[in-house]
Structure 1
């Protein structure tokens, strides 16, 4: 099984993306999945190698046409249920 790389993106790659990263990690653990989850700012996200991106509505619009991986828009970074609903199927497909 390949190592999945998931990027959490916000404007500066620190505050809200770190929060999102922690929630993605919690969702993965709760579902018995493993992946490398890391943060990035929107300026470097398009040139950073990964398999999947989670981000906000604003960053989603900026990134969607710039990257070749799925970009998942999360409206509430604290909502694990939203992360599961929008991302779990895609993560499972990528893990194969």
Structure 2
């Protein structure tokens, strides 16, 4: 089971959009056993340790450094399906 957390500035719209895009990318990469949750970067600071992969925009990644035993993935463009898929492939 791969556990992924997506985070954005306030935990509303963009983290949900990233969550859906990550789920699609994982399916496209042949993953079937995964869970993806979304939250604000503030919440992610406390939750990150429980996840294998934490995904946020590059300008928020520094706030999550050292808070997870898993992989941190910074996205330049939250809406870019290819970037999400490529960066997930690198850490799976």
What TM-score range do you get, normalising by the shorter chain? 0.7 to 0.9
Q: Which residue of 2 aligns with 1:18?
A: 16
Query: Which TM-score applies when normalising by structure 2?
Result: 0.87
Contact 2:75 2:84 in 1 (8 A): yes
- Tell me how far apart the structure 2 counterparts of residues 32 and 85 of structure 1 sit (CA, whole Å): 13
Superposed, 1:28-43 pairs within 5 Å as 28-34=26-32, 35-43=34-42
Query: Which TM-score applies when normalising by structure 1?
Result: 0.83
Structure 2: gaps spanning 5 or more residues: none
Deviation at 1:75, TM superposition (A): 1.1
**Equivalent residue of 1:32, what SS?**
coil
Q: Which residue of 1 aligns with 2:5?
A: 7
Structure 1: gaps spanning 5 or more residues: 92-96
Q: Which residue of 2 aligns with 1:47?
A: 46
- Tell me how far apart the structure 1 counterparts of residues 76 and 59 of structure 2 sit (CA, whole Å): 10
CA RMSD of aligned residues (A): 1.3
Greater strand share, structure number: 2
Q: Which residue of 1 aligns with 2:25?
A: 27
Deviation at 1:74, TM superposition (A): 0.5
Deviation at 1:30, TM superposition (A): 1.5
